[in-house]
Amino acid sequence: MTPRQVLYAKAAFVISLVATIGSLYFSNVALYAPCDLCWYQRIAIYPLLAIVGVGLIRHDNNLHFYALPLLMFGLIVSVYQNLLYYGIVAESTAVCGLGVSCAAKYIEWLGFITIPLLSLIGLITLTVLMFAFKKEGATK
């Protein structure tokens, strides 16, 4: 791994850690029930903590091969949930089950920062970091 790749991987590890802790806080401390789409995003984000951590320890130049498929899946789900949340896609067409609504409004910090938006920002940032990691490895 180049020094820049290490930096990208460390940043991805920290963001994955914050996303995991934040997700667990919202569901276990604040007691916000996660919807189906939230669970799919968790399935994409939680393993990244271990994948990126092991990649850092082993100085794995192929870290992006393991992380990007999960990130792309999570990103697609997150974009869909944000379209649903902001009313661009009708909730009647949603893939959410009979449980918690995927458009439920739990928080709105500063009038626009929501849980789905936090997830989208985290996933976009992680995806950009992994593409930068890949590009840096290709140029060495």
Residue with tokens 């067409």: 93
Mind listing the pLDDT tens digit for each residue in 99-138?
Answer: 777 777 787 778 778 889 999 999 999 999 999 999 987 7
* Mean pLDDT computed over every residue of the chain: 89
DSSP annotation of 113: B
pLDDT of amino acid 1 = 87
Distance CA 20, CA 122 (A): 10
Phi, psi of 102 (to 5 degrees): -75, -5
3-state percent helix, strand, coil for the chain, nearest multiple of 5: 70, 0, 30
Mind listing the pLDDT tens digit for each residue in 36-65?
Answer: 888 899 999 999 999 999 999 999 999 999
Domains and CATH numbers, the chain: 3-138 (1.20.1550.10)
Phi, psi of 42 (to 5 degrees): -65, -40
Q: How confident is the model at residue 97 (pLDDT cuts 50, 70, 90)?
A: low
Q: What is the pTM of this model?
A: 0.88
